[in-house]
Amino acid sequence: MDAAPPAVLLPAHAHNDYEHRRPLLDALDRGFMSVEADVHLVDGRLLVAHDREDVTPDRTLQGLYLEPLHQRWRSLGGRIHPGQPVDRPFMLLVDIKSAARPTYEAVHAALEPYAAMLAHVVDGRRRAGAVEVVISGGRPVDLMRSQSRRLAFVDGRLPDLDGGDPVDLMPLISASWWDAFFWWGDGPMPEGQRRRLREIVDRTHAAGRRVRFWATPEREELWAELLDAGVDHLNTDRLEQLEAFLRARTVADGPGAAASRETAAPVDR
């Protein structure tokens, strides 16, 4: 947390963030607004790793993510990034890899000490917070719907755009790139694919939700199409390369265009 604060916040998502040299901190130092942590409930502890056989007792959700975020929130006066808009929370995507209901219940309990910094819902009304926790992977949607006080939100899927769940339950729609597209980023994007991408983004935004694709090829040509279409979270394992691309685009487009993209939408696999 000793790096200089980034000048511009980026619509970037650190996929499998815990695999980087400095989990959370590498993404924060680059101005990312979203990170992903895969969790397993093991002997009552929330351990962070992609696969169950890779968990270690020292890598917990609290230690790698919740406590560092809370310390930063306190030191920056209620923000995660300097200058962070109050209506644009930093997203911690928690991908549940073990049994959905007990793992989620453990996550909810772990969030309680940090409730003051979290966006949350009480009696159907969303309350603002600097951090938005979104549950992906094993999602106990019925349980989360039933909670009168809820400290996390649901990561939706494309078919959920046809459902009736409110934004205050499901603020994000995520999908595998390959569920809807076949373009690898080599050569121009086929026009039909481009129209399909923009239709998905426009429909998601019209419903007041944000959109993310996972398993996207790590190519600047594809990142450019995602950015131009208004995708809210650009998924990457290559933090340095995506940061460089986005900052170059910010310089090329000018600060007004960057600010417009950052506030376009309300705020692994």
CA nearest neighbour of 121 among 168, 79, 86:
168
The mean pLDDT value for 85-92 works out to 93
Tokens 């009480």 locate to 122
- Of 63 and 5, the structure prediction assigns the larger pLDDT to 63
Q: Which 3-state string (H, E, C) describes 40-94? A: EEECCEEEECCCHHHCCCCCEHHHHHHHHHHHHHHHCCCCCCCCCCCCCCEEEEE
CA nearest neighbour of 267 among 28, 112, 80:
80
Who's near 141: CB < 8 A, 6+ residues apart?
Answer: 154, 165
pTM: 0.91
Q: What is the pLDDT of residue 250?
A: 77
- pLDDT above 70 coverage of the chain, percent: 90
- Residue pLDDT, tens place only, 143-191: 999 999 999 999 999 999 999 899 999 999 999 999 999 999 999 999 9
Q: What is the pLDDT of residue 103?
A: 98
- Residue pLDDT, tens place only, 103-122: 999 999 999 999 999 999 99
Among the residue ranges 51-55, 74-78, 105-109, the one predicted with the least confidence is: 51-55
